[in-house]
Amino acid sequence: MDFLRILSMIMVTMLHALGKGELLLPMSADLPPNGWVAWILECFSVGAVNIFMLLSGYYLIQSGFRIKRLWELLFQVLFYSVGVFVLYGCFGLLLGEQKDIYHLLQYFLPVHMEVYWFITSYTVIYLFLPVLAAGVHGVSRIALRNTILGLLIYECLFKSILPFQLETDSKGYSFLWYLIMFLIGAYIRLYGFPLIRRSWQGWLAFFGSSLLIFAETAVLHFIYAKTGRLEGVLRAGTNYNHIFDVVASIGIFLAFLYRKPMGKKKGAFISRLSSYALGVYLFQESILIRYEWQKWFSLPQSMTGSLGGFLLRVFGAVAAMFCIGIVIDVIRWGMYYGLVRLFRRNKTEEGAEES
């Protein structure tokens, strides 16, 4: 499951490379080969965010609330939001509008300003954890199942079948959607998932649903190209709260869940590596670089090149950003625990002097 966390972060990086690298061109009959490939990569990566939500529910539902964990998360977020701001300021890269009050609030209050929408939702979920855990453990299996089904009908089913966008549709960028996926993860932890009992079935659900996401997206764009209609739902299939995305994310989650554990040494390395995965997201989604790092690798220009060159550049950029993010978070972790050890040593010395 730690390996799944790593894979999901790679998929998230792919989403940011494609969407913010101007590679998801409007689909039409004359879409170039690279454009089709970009959309295929998007459709096979879009389940990544739901996977992180499922992981939260699966593990947190059996663990208690710890203020230390919340503090570590907030420190980690501030390290990136404030750190990138300070670095840009030191090198004179900040523009005038990037130093106004609104942007300063984003740097220093990133959770409240929803700089990282996922972190904001996760923080609220974590604060609710004692109540959520008590509620999930306090109701019957049938009651929990019916609650999840009702929420899916409200938030997922109608938006997946209706040919227009609903006013309440957040496309999965909301606390409510995080809560729903959290409950599904918790349900799997407590009762399993009867529709998928084997790893290969999970892989089948993932690949089948990802292909359906691409098929729906392609059909809608062809219809729009010819009729000019359905513009509001052209990308509905790639929304986190679309039924195909839900099935794809649950499928790959269960595919990894049902796999045999890794060997001890390899597992220890993967577990350690996965602990730095969140830093990859926090780095690449920092306000000042979220739309800039794609240009470091000339991703917008890759659309007009050969297919091989396009794939090499995209996957190379994703791999590079993942590795850079891991290295930076290793440094961040060392700094944090260095400060913790220093603080504890000072407290110990003060206590000894008082004695």
Which residues span the domain enclosing 21?
2-354
- What single DSSP character describes residue 305? S
Give the chain's largest Cα–Cα span: 83
pLDDT at 354 over 90: no
pLDDT at 93 over 90: no
3-state secondary structure of 168: coil
pLDDT at 325 over 80: yes
pLDDT value, residue 103:
87
* Encoded amino acid at 265, one letter: K
pLDDT value, residue 304:
86
From residue 125, give the alpha-carbon distance in Å to each of 35, 117, 133, 170, 263. Answer: 37, 12, 11, 17, 33
**Global confidence as pTM:** 0.92
Q: Do residues 325 and 279 make contact, with C-beta atoms less than 8 angstroms apart?
A: yes
215 or 355, which is more confident?
215
Q: Two tokens at 2?
A: 């730690």
Of 264, 274, 265, which Cα lies nearest the Cα of 330?
274
Q: Give residue-wise pLDDT tens across range 14-29.
A: 999 999 999 998 766 6
pLDDT value, residue 351:
61
Count of domains forming the chain: 1
> What percentage of the chain exceeds 90 in pLDDT?
70
Reported confidence tier of residue 353, pLDDT bands at 50, 70, 90: low
User: Cα 76 from chain centroid?
Assistant: 16
What is the overall mean pLDDT for the chain?
91
Q: Give residue-wise pLDDT tens across range 94-149.
A: 887 778 899 899 999 999 999 999 999 999 999 999 999 999 999 999 999 999 99
Q: Give residue-wise pLDDT tens across range 60-88.
A: 998 888 998 998 999 999 999 999 999 99
